[in-house]
Chain A
Amino acid sequence: MKFFFPDSQDLVDPSFDFDTEKRKETRIRQRDDLYAHEVFEKPPYDGMLVSMAIVHGTGGSTGRYTLGQQRRFSVEGAREFLRLPKGLELIGDCGAFTYVKEPVPPVSVEQVARFYEDSGFDYGASVDHIILEYDPQWDRPLPGTKPVPEDCVRRQELTIQLARDFQKLCRQQKVRFEPIGIAQGWSPKSYSKAVSALQKMGYKYIALGGLVPLKSTEILQVLEEVSPKLRPSTGLHLFGVTRLDYVKEFARHSVISFDSTSPLTQAFKEDRENYYGPERKYPAIRVPQVDINQKLKNRILSGEVSQAEAFRLERECLEALRDFDRRSFRRLELIEVLNEYQQLYGSTRNYSADYEILLKDRPWKECPCAVCRKLGINVVIFRGAERNRRRGFHNVYVTYKRLKHIRGKARTL
């Protein structure tokens, strides 16, 4: 089973100095920065997934790429732009999550196909419209239960029609990428119906969308309904799903690939599971920047907190962490300093117990990955994009290593 990593311009600046927190003045974004596959000796994924929404934006948004980058992406091709090594594959999709609130997708089948073709993708997904509701009861309606919402049905029909148009266009234009058909549904049976329709159109690679909010067992129920109808040559992709504990079950149901950003985003969006250790996940140590943290800035502006005091504690925390890593500062004193700063910036959460476990285990010392080797304790400090994103890269590395381990044990995956 292949793991694709979605691109959202997550790069790190190699010139960033963790002691002075400065970067090279001549640095050019993206060109001088590094992707996760450039940070580690071996890429921590089998390929990347790039959404048209991230590159160009859809509807009213302008995307995450600058216009200059958009141009270069289409002229050089995605592979060269992303500096993707040989052997890694590229899936394109249109990023349906960005227009989920619109009545119809703001992109046309032609635009999307041109985007895939011009940028040289290996696979290109059809245009879809996400169905937000999910309820298996709709498959066995009891008297008195509400029927399937009309909007769900409409979105599924639209998605199937767009997949048909897409397939037709790809054949006409003899595109070089392999089309992926996207299935949307609101229950196991409805997904199964969509998948069968796509299979009939000739799709051999079918992706299931809208699974992100579902529980793992619900995803399995969908797959159980879908897989018996699949031809042996059909493979499934799961959009936005990383459930490593279920990889084996997924594989039994013909899932051949999935993609997810969650190992990266957990590094800075989760409350307590920011750093993937070998046995468990740890919270990262919060040392926000006095001049950037909005809460703290507001408290300083209102005179509630003395700025000089905030600067002093911030510096003290960073120095204590550095000294702790060199084993010249005690754990309990460190936690005290961290707490003192935390009270100042007004966090209501108390992480002391979690910090104690993290500092006792020192998981970054054990990790062989390039990020942990280079950053030391900085990898577990929750502070600024350069640290947080590198911790995310580490999590991606750990995820992929685990996947490879599972794959190794079960040769058939």
Chain B
Amino acid sequence: MAKASTKAGVRRSRKKTANELLLRVPALEFNQGKDRRLYSFAVDGKELHKFCTISRVSRNDSEGLSGYQRPEVVSHIVQIREYLESENPLLPNAIVVAFDESVRFKPSSPNSENDKAISRTGVLEIPVKEGVLDALKPGWIVDGQQRAAALRDARVEGFPICVVGFIASGLEEQRQQFILVNATKPLPKGLIYELLPSTEGKLPIALQRRRYPALLSERLNFDDDSPMQGMIRTPTNGTGVIADNSILKMLENSLTDGVLYLYDDIEEQLDVLKTFWSAVKTVFPDAWGELPRKSRLMHGAGIVAMGFLMDTIADRHRRTKALTSKVFVNDLEPLRDICHWTEGYWEFGADNRLKWNELQNVPRHIQLLSNYLLIQYRELVWKA
């Protein structure tokens, strides 16, 4: 009766009804407390949708809330899909499925009575009806719907994935598990940025874009000849005075629209960065290295605005001379008196006067400070 399938680890057998199959998969059963049985097994990701469905949240007129999942997020699915289609993907975490009571576990040796064993092997029998309505499928995906959708759509032959199943008593229990697995906090951004430079392989586009700035930032933070050595605050360098995000923003601006765009070589880019920021340190020694609350130079607005100044000074000189420390210092000196990083007032013109510590790391203030510095640079240095 049982017919062996070529698909890894999956055996099917035909039951009485013509269109009902019994999917039989080798599985591990273990108890998690009283009456809580979990089943761990592997299936081809492409087969998942044969026996699983997603309980989409909706509200019927009379019956109140049904289901619990949000809709698929295409951009997210596309990212996972592209990763699955990449050279050597790995999907270690399991899809979590809640089964109804039609799913059975058959232990391989039913009589073994080993108290110490926390798990036993066997076969999980999942009834699969071809062409059946989604609602009548025996499994509901509690966690991993985006991954499951990506597996379904990916242009790959097949992809074995790990599934953890449990038999749920009803919708309420599924909902509880759904909330529990999804209420976790995402990783802090700073930690992800810090991990970026030392990762390989494909990442989602947003992160891929940040990988290169993160690499530059890491070098600025740890190179011996960097004026910012140890000064960029990251999860592993909690004593840094400059927020990693401020540095990344400054680097991104210059990589797309400033001096860093002009170089392909990271050493040349770092050379310009280190030379410029050393000059900043020379010209503003009192404001350098202080906490942002004591010095706005180390603050998001200061770092980003000074980054624009770096790009502009470079634009002015790069065609005629090497960007040496002297060039930067000479061009920064005339601005010393109009900068109020640690005390006094910024005179932004007209009725725009800000006390030094009123300057905030918000787009409006960053623009105000950047424009001010660039206009002053033109008036006091470039045109002078």
Contact = CB atoms under 8 A, between A and B. Distances in A.
A108 B58 contact: no
B364 interface: yes
Q: How large is the interface on A (under 10, 10 to 19, 20 to 34, 35 or more residues)?
A: 20 to 34
Contacts of A67: 253, 304, 308, 366-367, 370
A28 B367 contact: no
A185 B124 CA distance: 82
Contacts of B57: 301, 303
A290 B78 CA distance: 14
A169 to B, nearest CB: 15
Interface stretch (B1-9, B66-74, B107-115, B190-198): B66-74
A302 B58 contact: yes
A179 to B, nearest CB: 21
Interface in B349-384: 350, 363-364, 366-367, 370-371, 374-375, 378
A309 B168 CA distance: 28
A108 B350 contact: yes
B55 to A, nearest CB: 11
Contacts of A301: 57, 70-71
Contact of A291 (B59, B74, B363, B364): B74
B75 interface: yes
Nearest to B370: A67
Contacts of B70: 301
A51 B328 CA distance: 33
Contacts of A69: 257
A68 B258 contact: yes
Contact of A300 (B71, B78, B374): B71
Given A56-B371, A301-B70, A303-B58, A71 B256 contact: no
A285 to B, nearest CB: 21
A357 B297 CA distance: 63
Contact of A71 (B66, B78, B312, B363): B312
A62 B72 CA distance: 34
Interface in B305-361: 308, 311-312, 315-316, 350
A25 B374 contact: no
Given A71-B258, A114-B375, A307 B56 contact: yes
B59 to A, nearest CB: 6
A56 B70 CA distance: 39
Contacts of A347: none
A297 interface: yes
A297 B71 contact: yes
Nearest to A65: B257
Contact of B257 (A71, A114, A297, A303): A71
Given A74-B374, A303-B56, A66 B67 contact: no
A70 B366 CA distance: 13
Contacts of A231: none
A303 B59 contact: yes
A205 B75 CA distance: 50
A68 B208 CA distance: 20
A118 B56 CA distance: 57
Contacts of A70: 367, 370-371
A114 B372 CA distance: 13
B311 A71 contact: yes
B313 to A, nearest CB: 10
A66 B250 CA distance: 12
Given A62-B363, A68-B308, A307-B56, A29 B256 contact: yes
A303 B258 contact: no
B189 to A, nearest CB: 20
Contact of B367 (A31, A62, A297, A302): A62
Nearest to B134: A308
A73 to B, nearest CB: 9
B205 interface: yes
A72 B257 contact: yes
A62 B363 CA distance: 8
A290 B59 contact: no
B257 A291 contact: no
Nearest to B57: A303
Interface in A32-75: 56-57, 60, 62, 66-72, 74-75
B75 A291 contact: yes
A303 B63 CA distance: 13
A28 B378 CA distance: 28
Contacts of A76: 315
B62 to A, nearest CB: 14
A57 B257 CA distance: 19
B34 to A, nearest CB: 35
Given A68-B253, A297-B71, A303-B59, 7 more contacts: A31-B257, A66-B253, A68-B311, A291-B72, A291-B74, A291-B75, A303-B60
14 contacts: A25-B208, A31-B261, A56-B371, A67-B304, A67-B308, A68-B258, A68-B308, A71-B308, A71-B312, A75-B311, A118-B378, A291-B75, A302-B58, A304-B58
